[in-house]
Structure 1
């Protein structure tokens, strides 16, 4: 892309200033990036192994083969021998995340990555504190590339000593958060002290993500006071070493709950952000209100540090976050290319004989050492970026809200709000309970019948964070009449692009189109009730963020999609 606006401000230490993040020059930076899952902390379902998921009601479960980093390591030793296993990990780290990967993130237009760290890769699980210098050298090289390509790197302790989450992604022994036991508690703090000592002067490190998804299943809620105490002690000890780096702090229940944020978490420096994760919530401001309110209360930014979804969902939800000065980080950049994957960045092919490994993990016959080593050698080659495929060639446009996409008309700008980015003059709500607070006329497309609202008992069966309305969200239209309006923003416009509209109209309607740098123009919308019409509205100029305004001055129209360059 000719203009990578999001990377132009990657300069100097990233820090907080009230409710925004700024660079070393005091310029606002909105993080838009990718999580490098699998790199230093592999997860079974993303590498072609087992998924490692468990029912939240279980209190104990041993990990399965190939469901997390430690079980993957044990399986490799069983199949290939311990010497091969010891040599595998340095090769995996360097092949999985190399210079080409960082360059591609920059080429795709992003300004940040989240680096998930596994504790034992840097601090082996043995008595004392014997640092793995090879792992630190590998991390140093990645940071050098990030600096070269202008990409902020967030250090994310994804798998703390003993495990902090109680699920497979924390690489724990048995899905119990043993990090809160005395020895692991101290080792976690010592690891962060070591990271802070080594990287306190590296501005390209955008921040320290202290713990990924602590205490995720609800059975561990009773440890919340210990989590609060841990954060207090950890932050105080980090600040004795490093007062410049931003701290990114996550709550419990898969980083969705906010109870932990009851005070200034960084009282010495006030340089921290609330870090939340979200998958599939309804793409409307109401889904953000909890952490927006907490952000205002504590005067700190929010970072959507892990997220993913369909293209239309991302184009809508991420833009809402950006308008509220909230950055986002997609999970994840590279995964095994297998049936059912979607919305990730790149897929690596599994080795031809990978079924032999899977069969062994499920109790089948063990392949020979020679055969197993050949399979894992091939895996190490396959994870290099040059051997991967882009999973969805169009996703970057939606994630970054760039030209080449169509967005639903109900995805109008939430900011600066009623009377400015939308009129808000409709008083009767809608059958879908969608963006009710906005006072906009939202309706189904012709012939579509709104589903019955689920009884509350059906909601109890839904997993947290999932939007029960998703199947019909794409069937909504925005009704405008007699002066009502809505605004839409497109970003990273490197060259002028056409603007078009898909609409229905019960009668002839006059549409006023306002595009920055162009005179206001009136467009006549012809009647169309049974199928949508498409009409060209003008040309969007170059710019980092370009907002257009559509007003139905007379008549009535139902807007379906706004098309930017497609």
Structure 2
């Protein structure tokens, strides 16, 4: 178990403690709770509209009751004990700015946000787990996706200085609160930024670093690269005591793409992808933290709402390929001595180390809806669109390609997304998903507080199932550090 002897700091390309001993941070992100994402818990749309739709059905009192229970059950001391028992020493806690201030009173910081974070930090600390505080959703959205709690495909955070002012002020208050706290590994000022102009992100980092250092000169800052934590080419002179944070997802780990077969050329591709992302950090002599990576998995049990033709044996064979890809990535990270945080710790069976049981009240209530979302492709992570649904978007993409001159096909940011990806992001993952959120919320109709409590308890680790092979790979890597 980790003993918190001092605040961590950077020294060249290493993260070290006060004695100068290298500390490699290994763990997971706690997605889906203080920043909610639809594929993680099974709802539809983005977080704010999801909560508003439920409140329309349940009323404010019952809605608050349900989410209070949900927040408490999602990460308990039992989770921390299991997690530390695997040898994992760090938890990345994503949170939404809305826990700390309301849009109509942005200068008023709510103590309730600190109460939620403090409870999680305390539970981590009991088992020697460092915490990285990750601001995962900011006013206006820092990227073009729903997981920044935005219902539009524009990142307005970079356009409006007022939004940036609010976030700088929030980080000052967080830094005041955790100044000198050895349990905190550091601050992740903004998750997966995506600034189309590329220059505004670095200007923001320079500004927020200065503001934080005025109240907390010691904690590490984990700075995500631009364009979803993949591009550091527009970073300026490295700021003191900072780590560059990449996200290293590989398409081998997702359905619909080439699967990992342990071929040398596939491994070489993983290496090239990683080396491209860490190139700037290596040249600048700055440590690297891989803040997110990991494949998604196919269901290996029949669950409520599962399609009649589900082939659990075939799914298990597919998952072995994805575990092999993960093992290859862990090998790359180990050889480079980089810290990592896999995405994500707990969910409804897509990626998590721990997942809601198919026999749980949660799956019995929402299983059919979750399967409908997969069939329609309403969220990218859990999508398994049927051919007839996919054909509609193929036809629409062809229409766009025909009508838009080819020289403009890559004009939309980020240019690595083709026309179909841009179309499906907006039409499927934002508009369709927003409509579906009302169908999801309607499933809460008439539920009593005891029933809501039982639903939330589905996320207690005692009621969950563990992804044993994934956890074995992670535990073995943690033990080898």
What does residue 324 of structure 1 align with?
Answer: 336
**Contact 1:80–1:372 at 8 Å: present in 2 too?**
no
Larger Rg: 1
Q: Which residue of 2 aligns with 1:535?
A: none
SS in 2 for 1:279: coil
Displacement after TM superposition at 1:173 (Å): 4.1
Alignment of 1:547-562 (within 5 A): none
Confirm whether residue 225 of structure 1 aligns to residue 199 of structure 2: yes
Measure the CA separation in 2 of the matches of 1:24 and 1:396: 31
In structure 2, the CA distance between the partners of 1:147 and 1:25, relative to structure 1 (3 Å rule), is farther
- Deviation, 1:225, is 1.9
User: Is 1:36 aligned with 2:22?
Assistant: no
CA-CA distance at 1:319 after TM superposition = 2.3
1:135-534 map, 5 Å: 135-180=113-158, 181-215=160-194, 220-222=195-197, 224-264=198-238, 266=239, 270-280=240-250, 282-284=266-268, 285-309=271-295, 310-337=322-349, 341=350, 343-349=351-357, 350-354=362-366, 361=436, 366=442, 369-371=445-447, 376-390=452-466, 392-401=467-476, 492=479
Question: Residue 127 of structure 1 aligns with which residue?
Answer: 105
Query: Is the CA contact (8 Å cut-off) linking 2:28 and 2:91 kept in structure 1?
Result: yes
TM-score scaled by structure 2? Answer: 0.72
Partner of 1:442: none
In the TM superposition, 1:49-64 aligns within 5 A as 49-50=43-44
Report if aligned partners of 2:141, 2:149 keep a CA contact under 8 Å in 1.
yes
Query: Per-residue deviation at 1:292?
Result: 3.8
Following TM superposition, by how much is the alpha carbon of 1:363 offset from its aligned partner in structure 2, in angstroms? 6.3
For 1:120 and 1:262, the matched residues in 2 are separated by 30
CA shift digits 1:281-324 (9 cap, x unpaired):
65443333224432232111011110103222222221221221
Partners of 2:7 and 2:180 within 8 A in 1? no
Name the structure with the higher strand share.
1
Output the CA distance in 1 between the equivalents of 2:438 and 2:80: 38
The counterpart of 2:80, out of the listed 91, 95, 102, is 102
**TM superposition shift of 1:373:** 6.1
Is the 1:353–1:375 contact (alpha carbons within 8 Å) kept by the matching residues of 2? no
Structure 1 contact 9–23 (Cα < 8 Å) conserved: no
Using a 3 Å threshold, how does the CA distance of structure 1 residues 103 and 362 change in structure 2: closer, same or farther? Answer: closer
Q: CA-to-partner distance for each residue in 1:238-264, whole Å, 9 max, x for gaps? A: 111111000000112221112232321
CA contact (8 A) 2:243 2:286 kept: yes
Greater RCO, CA 8 A, separation 6+: 2
2:28, 2:343 within 8 Å by CA — same for their partners in 1? yes
| 8 Å CA contact retained: 1:351, 1:379 | no
Judge conservation of contact 1:38–1:46 (CA < 8 Å) in 2: yes
1:115 aligns with 2:93: yes
Backbone CA RMSD of aligned residues: 2.4
Give 1:47 shift. Answer: 1.0
Three-state SS of the structure 2 residue aligned to 1:157 is strand
Deviations 1:147-185 (A, max 9, x none): 221111000000112211120111124232222312211
Find the counterpart in structure 1 of residue 15 from structure 2: 21
For residues 234 and 363 of structure 1, what CA distance do their matches in structure 2 show?
A: 38
Q: What is the aligned length?
A: 370
Which blocks of at least 5 consecutive residues in structure 2 are unaligned?
A: 252-265, 296-321, 373-434
The 1:83–1:174 alpha-carbon spacing in structure 2 relative to 1, beyond 3 Å, is: farther
Q: Is the 8 A contact 1:32 1:327 kept in 2?
A: yes
Distance 1:394 1:357, change over 3 A: closer
| Partners of 1:314 and 1:399 within 8 A in 2 | no
Higher helix share: 2
Determine if contact 1:312/1:398 at 8 Å carries over to the other structure. no
Query: SS of the residue aligned with 1:221?
Result: coil
Q: Quote the offset at 1:118 in angstroms.
A: 0.5
How far 1:8 moved relative to its partner?
A: 4.3
For residues 6-40 of structure 1, give each alpha carbon's deviation from its aligned partner in whole angstroms, at most 9, with x where no partner exists.
x5465421111000111232110111101000010
With normalisation by structure 1, the TM-score equals 0.61
- The one-character-per-residue Cα deviations of 1:401-435 (angstroms, maximum 9, x if unpaired) are 45xxxxxxxxxxxxxxxxxxxxxxxxxxxxxxxxx
When structure 1 is superposed on structure 2, of 40-49 and 358-367 the one drifting more is 358-367
Structure 1 residue 227: Cα displacement: 1.6
What's the CA shift for 1:368?
7.2
SS at match of 2:248: strand
DSSP 3-state at the match of 2:329: helix
Q: Deviation digits for residues 75-121 of structure 1, max 9, x if unmatched?
A: 21122112222333332221111221112110111010100011001
Give me the whole-angstrom Cα distance separating, in 2, the residues matched to 1:8 and 1:367: 43
Report how far residue 374 of structure 1 moved.
6.5
Alpha-carbon distance between aligned partners in 2 of 1:371 and 1:70, rounded to the nearest angstrom: 21
Q: Are the equivalent residues in 1 in contact too, given 2:53–2:437 (CA < 8 A)?
A: no
